[in-house]
């Protein structure tokens, strides 16, 4: 059984991860973490006390982290200290913070991905293949839409999509449109356009469960690892 820590347990993703993990016989939730200023600290969620002290992760196997960049780095340091592997789904990290993740992967195992969804990772592959086939003859545009609460723009997923397009065609993507409306969970579209036709690849997230379930798959993957940096393509065997 995998001893699991959920960070940001009262957030949008944290609640679903906690709910689904509590129903999965492969997991034992050992600790739930929240910001020290959160009103839920010291209350119980799914029968487990919510804490702000990262010392609570000692003895756990894997932490799942969907919070802010600053909190993610602080929790990453706690994971290194306590030899706990970590799944990082936080977006909006700056290069210096990503460098810290890469350094930490020399001591613990980390899955770091802008999107944990199986469907979105299939979209990455399709975008790369389309880019390789269309080459320099098509203009590329990415459109992403999320809820009004999302702070980073463009989304981490859109940035990753652009990287996959570049890896396929060698042409940088300079046209990324970001939409923030209502409670949109996540829409991503890559448009390849020539004077003769238009090719579109698109993913629509209906519920956050696709991300939560992907994060739990990543946690199971990490339970068998000692150290190293991985992404969801590694987890899903898509490389």
Residues labelled catalytic = 146, 150
**What angle in degrees, to the nearest 10, is found between the helix axes of 69-82 and 95-104?**
10
- The two tokens of residue 126 are 């399709």
Q: Are 89 and 220 in contact (CB under 8 A)?
A: no
> Strands, DSSP E only, in the chain?
2-7, 27-33, 44-45, 48-51, 62-65, 85-88, 109-112, 139-146, 176-180, 187-193, 198-204, 228-230
Q: Is the dihedral of CA 212, 214, 216, 219 positive or negative?
A: negative
For strand 187-193 and strand 139-146, is the pairing parallel, antiparallel, or unpaired?
antiparallel
Token pair of 182, please?
Answer: 């209502």
Asked whether the beta carbons of 195 and 74 are under 8 A apart, the reply is no
- Catalogue the E-assigned strands of 157-217: 176-180, 187-193, 198-204
């Amino acid at each position: 059984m995998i001893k699991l820590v959920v960070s940001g347990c009262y957030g949008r993703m944290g609640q679903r991860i906690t709910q689904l993990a509590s129903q999965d016989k492969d997991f034992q939730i050992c600790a739930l973490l929240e910001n020290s200023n959160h009103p839920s600290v010291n209350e119980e969620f799914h029968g487990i006390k919510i804490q702000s002290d990262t010392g609570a992760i000692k003895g756990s196997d894997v932490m799942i982290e969907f919070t802010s960049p600053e909190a993610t780095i602080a929790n990453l340091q706690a994971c290194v200290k306590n030899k706990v592997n970590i799944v990082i789904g936080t977006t909006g990290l700056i290069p210096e913070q990503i460098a810290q993740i890469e350094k930490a992967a020399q001591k613990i195992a980390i899955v770091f991905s802008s999107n944990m969804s199986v469907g979105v990772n299939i979209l990455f592959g399709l975008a790369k293949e389309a880019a390789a086939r269309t080459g320099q003859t098509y203009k590329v545009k990415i459109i992403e839409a999320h809820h009004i609460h999302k702070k980073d723009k463009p989304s981490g997923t859109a940035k990753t999509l652009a990287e996959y397009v570049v890896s396929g065609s060698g042409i940088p993507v300079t046209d990324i449109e970001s939409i923030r409306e209502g409670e949109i969970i996540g829409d991503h579209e890559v448009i390849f356009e020539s004077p003769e036709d238009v090719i579109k690849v698109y993913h629509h997230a209906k519920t956050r469960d696709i991300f939560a379930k992907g994060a739990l798959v990543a946690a199971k993957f990490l339970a068998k690892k000692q150290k190293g940096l991985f992404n969801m393509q590694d987890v899903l065997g898509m490389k």
